[in-house]
Amino acid sequence: MRLVLGRRAARRPWRAGLGLILPVGVALLWELAVCAKWAEGRLLPPPSRVATTLWALASTGELADHVAATLERVGLGFVFGVVTGTVLAAATGYSRVLRRLLDPTIQALRSIPSLAWVPLFILWFGIFETSKIVLIAAGVFFPVYLGVLSAVLGVDRKIVEVGRSFRLSGWALTRRILLPAILPAYLPALRNGLGLGWMFVVAAEVMGASEGLGYLLVDGQQLGKPDQIVAAIVVFALLGKSTDTLLVAAFAPLMRWQDAYEGGR
């Protein structure tokens, strides 16, 4: 067993490096194409120009301020969306009456585009931080709710009957039986919610924001700075991947019992 674990640990850096081949290769090819005058590189700047823009933003401290503002909004929206989605999905999954009462409305609201909420949230909460965080929380809520509800309804009936045989109350049954049983499906729901949180933050930062990566995107579009737009997109990609990796790593100790197929070579 130790030998197998040691081999897996030794392979992890190689596997992580393998995932860099595609983006780095594409970036190098585009850089070579622009340098060789095969492409103009005006609307899609080469990586060297994007790196120069990132360095200029980082050296003045502007990039750190924008990243901090966006991370704070995504973090708060993610927490509120996850808590609300988990609690409501657990309740509707446990209670058939609540499910028939609430689930049709939630499923209808889920189909509304994110930008459709923007004017309404501005009227309700103003143009400051509250409306932005609520919009991100709404984006996180729906995939978490749907994933948790589907997982709860898919729990083996025998496990629930065991909990009822021990006379567990509704909340105790949910906390001690249903939620642990849905743990393998909970992580994908959280990852989907986190991904949508990063998407919704762009729409949120359009709402009168003066800082944030979404603001950099809008500012670059209005001033005709494609290098700034691509730089903001690159930072979005790096932050999204980093937070997703941290989320998976945080759940790894809870998933050690799972002997799942990891795919072939």
Tens of pLDDT along 132-178?
899 999 999 999 999 988 888 887 777 777 777 777 776 777 777 77
Tens of pLDDT along 140-151?
999 999 998 888
Q: What is the pLDDT of residue 77?
A: 94
pLDDT higher than threshold 60 for residue 3: no
Tell me the pLDDT of the chain averaged across its residues: 83
pLDDT higher than threshold 70 for residue 264: no
Chain centroid to CA 226: 25
pLDDT higher than threshold 90 for residue 194: yes
107-133 as b/e: b if 16+ CB within 10 A: eeeeeeebeebbeebbeebeeebebbb
**Cα dist from 2 to 5, 59, 90, 146, whole Å:** 5, 46, 38, 39
The residue-averaged pLDDT of 231-258 equals: 85
| Gap between the Cα atoms of 252 and 265, Å rounded | 22
In the structure encoding, which two tokens stand for residue 246, read together?
Answer: 């941290």
The share of the chain scoring above pLDDT 90, in percent, equals: 26
Residue tagged 């919610």 (tokens)? 193
Residue ranges with strand state E in the chain: none
Where is pLDDT greater, at 260 or 46? 46
Q: What is the pLDDT of residue 2?
A: 46
Residue tagged 């200029």 (tokens)? 56
Residue ranges with strand state E in 8-147: none
| Gap between the Cα atoms of 204 and 197, Å rounded | 10
Question: What are the structural domains of the chain?
Answer: 44-255 (1.10.3720.10)
Tens of pLDDT along 81-108?
999 999 999 888 878 898 999 989 998 9
Q: How confident is the model at residue 10 (pLDDT cuts 50, 70, 90)?
A: very low
Q: What is the pLDDT of residue 74?
A: 94
